Amino acid sequence: MATTTTVPSPARRRDARPAGHLLDVPHHDGSELFAPQEVPALGDVVPVRLRVPAGTPERGVWVRTVRDAEPHIVPARLDREEGGERWYVAEVPVHNPVTSYRWLLDEPGGYRWLTGRGAFDRDVTDAGDFRLTVHPGAPAWVSDAVVYQIFPDRFARSGTERALPDWAVPAAWDEEPVGRGPVTPVQLYGGDLLGVEQRLDHLQRLGVDTVYLTPVFPSRSNHRYDASTFGHVDPLLGGDEALASLSRALHGRGMRLVGDLTTNHTGDAHEWFRRACADPGAPEREFYYWDDSERGYAAWLDVPSLPKLSYRSRELARRLVDGPDSVIARWLAEPYALDGWRIDVANMTGRFGGDDFAHAVARAVRATMAAANPDAVLVSEHFHDAGGDLTGAGWHANMNYGAFTKPVWTWLVDPATTLDFLGIPTTIPRRTGPSAVATMREFDSTVPWRVTRSQWNMLGSHDTPRLRTVVGSRELVEVAAGLLFTYPGTPALFAGDEGGLTGWNGENARVPMPWDAIEGRDPGRGPRWDAATFDVYRRLIALRRSSRALREGGLRWAVVEDDAVAYLRETADERVLVLAARAPWRGATLPGRLASGAENLYGGADLRVDADGLHLPGDGPGVQVWRLA
């Protein structure tokens, strides 16, 4: 494990007492130890279980469900006692498509509620209640997947010569991207899909198995979110055949390919918008919102080049999202055979003023995909609170900025950072472990467990600063990556993060992959490649693949300190303990009932286990992972 020059504060240095733990709190989550993993149907009765540690003075246990918006309490019975813990079981009727429930513990002096946010000796809102949903979750392969996001213009050139369009400003491959200004969206580096195909060995060395491509449709920008058509692939990327070839190559290696679609808007050069402007009687006229502004139409965030789509139009829905002839279905079919879609600004799709078709659009996309390819995944983009859109009926999962990216950043950010905080007009704040974990628990609690275990957890994307720039050191990159590959959900990384690439905002972070450095031909120009960081990512991906608990297990927080957090990932056959520290801390002792021994899977530190319990070391920064026996 890497060493650090971080020094504890004087107050912390004087405090030699071991930290406390959180394992004396009753626990429930939606994993296999506590609830059946089969999808229930309306009318089913589902047994749910509660783990109560020794020393809890409960006099009775109930489950409170909400049936047709009215609370209903059912009793729990003691099922068994083992290892100093009591297990209760209660039967929850699935009366509504999404059935919420919480645990009630009657104790001397009052009662406590247990929700997804923790245990409370006061009344709390229903927002954090556990949820059962009748809607199937993401395809099974998503639990095992590691997603690799590629921004096509910046990943790799194939060497194919192509004429540049009139809007493009050509850039040398080792030139730094312009992070802000008129050149930013038109700076073109010339990466293409054949270039991606030629570098698939790199992806397999790393251990990823799913490629997510940002848009590939023709446009007038390097990001291609302003599509001029959804009917073919941009010739600058190699055209339709290049996408089909990449798909064949990936599938031939046992890998998958996910595309990116804007259902919220098109570009102002889109064939539909051009027809709508040219002919007020054209059917495409109803695809957009028209107004009395100088521009004449509504645009996404008032960006003139991105006219907003209106789902009042059934014809728009038929062409874009609904049915076998839609854009959604076309690219899932051979020869392209996409394995899913990521939907850009999904939170805004179908929403404008008094209109709210967002859930209807999500359900239509989901139904279209299920008919075209039942094994395809549907992921939304939503930067803040996505809970209301993630009941399970539409999007399978979300790009998990709110519940993962942002809280991890606030815990690990360089204290001297000057970076903006993802749309908030402040720099990224540095917060404690309790603050970060409370945020993660609060956001996780708003969605069913079936969604939580499929969320795309990220440490950055093409829309954010680079992780290495956020945290400032290789050591803290390793801590962040340790969380990424051990936390519930699907890890997703932006191409280049595995080599420590840097960037101060989303556009500046879209730096070309430095293949000369990666492949040992570095001429000494451009961004440097950190081989040690690549090895960290490679080993952590291999660790995740070696452990069912890390892919499918529940989540129990064990320690939450200012500078360290620890949690258990558990299945019926495996228990894994993860410790992440951003600095040296005072250590902690966990109950001896957890294990009689421990095998270090990552980090190299021994976990001392004796009659007093499991003694977590106070080293840091770093990540340690143990399999408990």
* Radius of gyration for the alpha carbons in the chain, expressed in angstroms and rounded: 25
Tokens representing residue 333 in the block: 């079919």
Tokens representing residue 226 in the block: 């302003």
What pLDDT does 28 receive? 98
User: 2 pLDDT exceeds 50?
Assistant: no
Q: For the residues 580-586, what does the mean pLDDT come to?
A: 98
Q: For the residues 351-360, what does the mean pLDDT come to?
A: 98
User: 522 pLDDT exceeds 80?
Assistant: no
DSSP assignment letter at 489: S
Amino acid sitting at position 138: A
Give the chain's length: 629
Q: For the residues 231-256, what does the mean pLDDT come to?
A: 98
Q: For the residues 323-330, what does the mean pLDDT come to?
A: 98
CA nearest to 375, candidates 32, 133, 137, 39: 137
Per-position DSSP letters for 401-448, written without gaps between them: IIIIIHHHHHHHS-TT---EETTEEEEPPP--HHHHHHHHHHHHTTS-
Amino acid sitting at position 377: V
Average pLDDT, the chain: 95
Give residue-wise pLDDT tens across range 136-159. 999 999 999 999 999 999 999 999
What pLDDT does 527 receive? 62
Report how far apart, in Å, the C-alpha atoms of 204 and of each of 147, 254, 535, 542 are.
12, 10, 13, 11
Lowest mean pLDDT, pick from 3-12, 204-213, 619-628: 3-12
Higher per-residue confidence, 450 vs 527: 450
Instruction: Tell me: cis bond preceding 621? Omega within 30 of 0 counts.
Output: yes
Cα–Cα dist 576/553, whole Å: 9
306 and 348 Cβ atoms separated by less than 8 Å = no
Task: Find where tokens 């990943």 sit.
Answer: 155
What pLDDT does 83 receive? 86
pLDDT-derived band at 3, boundaries 50, 70, 90 = very low
